[in-house]
Chains A and B, each alone.
Chain A
Amino acid sequence: MVNGEIFLKKPSWPLYRKLTALILALTGLGVVMVANTTFVFAGQKYGNPYFFVKKEILWAALGFIAFIFAQKIDLNNLRRFSRPILLTALFLLIAVLVFGKEINGAKRWLGIGPFSFQPSELFKIAVILYLADFLDRKNGKILDPRRSFVPPGLLIGLGMVLMLKEPDLGTVILLAAIVIIFYFIADAPLKYLSIMIVTVIVGGGLMMWLEPFRRARLLAFLNPWGDTAKTSYHISQSLIGVGNGGLFGVGLGQGCQKLFYLPEGHTDFIFANIAEELGFFGSTFFIALFLFLFHWGMQTAKRTPDRFRSLLAAGITALIGLQAISHISVVISLLPTKGITLPFISYGGSSLLFTLFASGLLVNIARNLPPDDFRI
């Protein structure tokens, strides 16, 4: 179709614009879902239905500034600070164990006035920045285990141990997966990758099995309808919410699970509420948003000639994608219960702030892509 060719030449949006639109849409939907899921809960607990939404909007505003800032930043400059940033994050992880606020038996937050800040969120970004820089500089020498595995292993390993103290096994496993993905993309020999994967699986498995509450969760995952009053309560309520949504959902705001049935309905289980209220079509729409974000993020990584930027883009995209997949998988019982939030959507200030900052870096990279010969 000769004529058709002419019409197809209408230029599509550049990647960075697609990414920006998607990121802003996700942030907006996140605010809506946080409002929706916390309204009744906040009203009863704090006497103010807007308690969480107000904070979330404030963090979103801060995150938006970070998003813009990250786009303007000179990445070569930032890269020079990758090690200091990682050390700061490690310091904050130590601080959280000393000064941290304990919520639900876990010390993960540092209080700053009325806001709380989760150092592990910073640590995740810091690790990605650090590894992108490190693996780029070690290009070609990745076969030398002493040089290319030991230094990051020590630094990241220390961070992971600190996070396990909080305890936050979910984030540790997530981070370990990111590290493995990084080394995989960076052409590490499969021999070392296998060792890393086996270590994570055995270590993670042991930690799950040896800690009673984690073992109970694992068993609940294997049998969600077992002890629905206690160990399986969380997962069974989540599944009921998802199933209750059916094809079209019960309607935005009409969900029942957020009415004190499903704990953490605005954070670790927010997707259950989305699935209940918006149904199969709505949840598929959300999944599609993350899928496109992932796809365009990876496109950015592929098309960036600079190796550091490519690794950075891939790391950020993998982090967001992996978090989304883990969160949804927990909700629909494809993975055992882990406290993992849905990026952009779940309530959580520092999470939103750093996700938006990282997204800003991704858009920054996408903005500076060389013209694509294959696309018009």
Chain B
Amino acid sequence: MEQKKRLRIIVWIFFGCFGLIFLRLAFLQIKEAPELKRKARAKNYSLISEPAPRGAIYDREGRPLAISIPYYELYAEPKYLKETPAEVARKIAPVISESPAKLIIDFSSGKGFVWLNRRLPYDEYVAIKKLAITGIGVQETFFRSFPEGKIASHIIGLVNTDGKGLEGIEKQYNHIISGQDGKVFILRDGKGNPIPSSSEGVPARPGPDIFLTIDIKVQRILEEEIEKVFKEYSARGAAGIVLDADNGEVLALTNRPTYDPNPPVTSSLDCRRNRSVTDIFEPGSVFKMVTAAAGLEERVVKPEDNIFCENGKYFVRNHTIHDTHPYGMLTFREVIAKSSNIGTVKVGFKLGAEGMYRYATAFGFGKKTGIDLPGEVSGILRPVSRWSDYSMTAIPFGQEVSATVLQCAAALGAIINGGNLYQPYLVKGVRDKRGRFVPERKPVPVRRVISQATSDTLISILTDVVSEEGTAQSAAIPGYRVGGKTGTAQKVESGRYSHNKYFASFSGFIKTPSRKLVICVMVDEPRGAYYGGVVAGPAFNRIGQRTVLALGIAPDQPVNSENENSNGVISARSKRESKH
């Protein structure tokens, strides 16, 4: 029986070994499994990023403003080459017209990854694909092209070499438009060969297309005319906006200086700045619209009320206010049409500081409009508590406040559309690659600022500005109801108002029963002339005339011969416009 006992010992030793194996397996396959799985994955798979095509940017009619064009990048992974570097080089050198010697150096560099050609044309891409050499790969990528060049560049923006939006819509909507890069894991065998149809991962999600509110026809007109006024007056800068007053859609927006976003990008940051939203200026007389609107809405003044304009010099609160042209008694309507500072300040006094501030705020001054562009600033409108004794002698005609061109345009839009302030916006809709439209963006009414009646009255008053008696006769367009307000603001230099540097602007509108367009023109430091009516008025006139044609807006006003005369000739105007 000794033998049976020893047999039993052997059996138990073996069982012990099996038990040990079981424990070791449990350790490896349960406890160590995550780490070993990670090692397996790291070794068996290589991750390849598949760039997602960036969505295109179109104008409101679907005309392309920014598109992504595919191209191909050729690379080598020398460690996976199955043939000798010389053989591979001999095969692909003729296809990509590269010297075999250089390729051999690349292959033998000891690097795991080398770019061979980062701009491979399509035909060569196909040829390389056909060769199907292990260790040689091609990756599809995209470059951004802006077919309109400089047109609307400040709106569209530009992208860096990695395809990331740097400015404009490209930046603002980068998260949407760039889509989602795909991740492809390619299973490789122990020799480095990719296993066919074994790749897994997340496919690239192409970025959806963006449709802007911009109308490229209007944009081109605006670009040409702003360029013209910018050059004509050798200005430091210029900006122009065409806004649909009924909903806040920006139809066109431009700035000078400008740039071409197409690579290679050599433009300075100064050129790339979207001045109409990032730069502030003192609006000057343009701001009288706000004072007028407040006065009328608060019933402190009626259009035909007489206001004594102190013959051009008004000493009040230890401060003297001047008018460019001295006036005696003017109706309120004339005060605005002739742009009398003194008359406006008197209305402001009746309103009081609180009233002035309330309306300025209600029209959106001192606050960002919220347009979908990066870098917008809020302008400067100090709270009443920080106003000085002089503030009420300055703010009513647009000193001591700063605003962007866009804020002026939005405020004017509220004045002429019946009293509703709309948030200006640029993106009308988004369409993904399957053609699905994200519901078209609805206009965003910010608030009601003034009543319909006040709006109507103001339209009639502002129309007078372009009449024979007004400061901007040059802006009038025969056949259309046109109005607006000139602005000639002295620039502030080291804390004092300059006497030779001005912002010349005209914020105007064209109103027909079907459309209400706001057109703002601002010229920074024009040379040769500086009155808003002289510098910006004619530009407004040309933009307006061409825009109504481009958009097919029919005239609805009788055309009289006087207006016809006043039209066409641009700057040869003997009439003097009053300033401020």
Contact = CB atoms under 8 A, between A and B. Distances in A.
Contact of B187 (A256, A262, A279, A328): A256
Contacts of A239: 28, 36
Given A243-B39, A259-B189, A185 B30 contact: no
Interface in A233-256: 239-247, 256
A247 B30 contact: yes
Interface stretch (A54-62, A294-302, A362-370): A294-302
B11 A287 contact: no
A186 B3 contact: yes
Given A302-B4, A325-B21, A181 B29 contact: no
A257 B11 CA distance: 34
A334 B7 contact: no
Contacts of B30: 246-247, 280
Contacts of A71: none
Contacts of B29: 242-243, 245-247, 275, 279-280, 283
Contacts of B36: 239-240, 242-244
B524 to A, nearest CB: 66
A334 B14 contact: no
A307 B39 CA distance: 52
Contacts of A187: 2-3, 6
Nearest to A259: B189
B22 interface: yes
B43 interface: yes
A357 to B, nearest CB: 22
Interface in A248-283: 256-257, 259-262, 275, 279-280, 283
A184 B43 CA distance: 47
A240 B40 contact: yes
A334 B40 contact: no
A343 B224 CA distance: 88
B110 to A, nearest CB: 15
A310 interface: yes
Contacts of B24: 332-334
Contacts of A279: 29
Given A239-B28, A247-B30, A259-B190, 11 more contacts: A243-B32, A245-B29, A246-B29, A262-B190, A283-B29, A287-B25, A291-B18, A294-B11, A310-B7, A329-B21, A332-B21
A360 interface: no
Interface in A107-126: none
Interface string B196-224: 00000000000000000000000000000
B33 interface: yes
B273 to A, nearest CB: 55
B28 A332 contact: yes
Contacts of A128: none
Nearest to A184: B6
26 contacts: A40-B189, A184-B10, A185-B6, A240-B39, A241-B40, A243-B33, A244-B33, A246-B37, A247-B33, A256-B44, A257-B40, A259-B189, A259-B190, A260-B191, A275-B25, A280-B26, A280-B30, A290-B18, A291-B15, A298-B7, A298-B14, A314-B7, A321-B14, A322-B14, A332-B25, A334-B20
> For chain B, what secondary structure do more than half of its interface residues adopt (helix, strand, loop), or is it mixed?
helix
A256 to B, nearest CB: 5
A310 B37 contact: no
> Interface residues of B toward A: which range?
35 or more
Contacts of B9: 184
Interface of A: 40, 181, 184-187, 239-247, 256-257, 259-262, 275, 279-280, 283-284, 287, 290-291, 294-295, 298, 301-302, 307, 310, 314, 318, 321-322, 325, 328-329, 332-334
Contacts of A181: 10
B195 interface: yes
A58 B3 CA distance: 40
Nearest to B4: A302
Contacts of A260: 189-191
B389 interface: no
Contacts of A332: 21, 24-25, 28
Contacts of A245: 29, 33
A187 B14 CA distance: 18
A325 B14 contact: yes
B14 A185 contact: no
B123 interface: no
Contact of B35 (A242, A243, A291): A243
A186 B28 CA distance: 38
B21 A287 contact: yes
Contacts of B191: 260
A301 B7 contact: yes
A284 B10 contact: no
A284 B22 contact: yes
B17 interface: yes
B36 to A, nearest CB: 2
Query: Which 5 A-B pairs have CB atoms at the shortest separation, nearest pair first?
Result: A243-B36, A260-B190, A259-B189, A261-B190, A280-B29
Contact of B43 (A242, A247, A261, A321): A261
A62 to B, nearest CB: 29
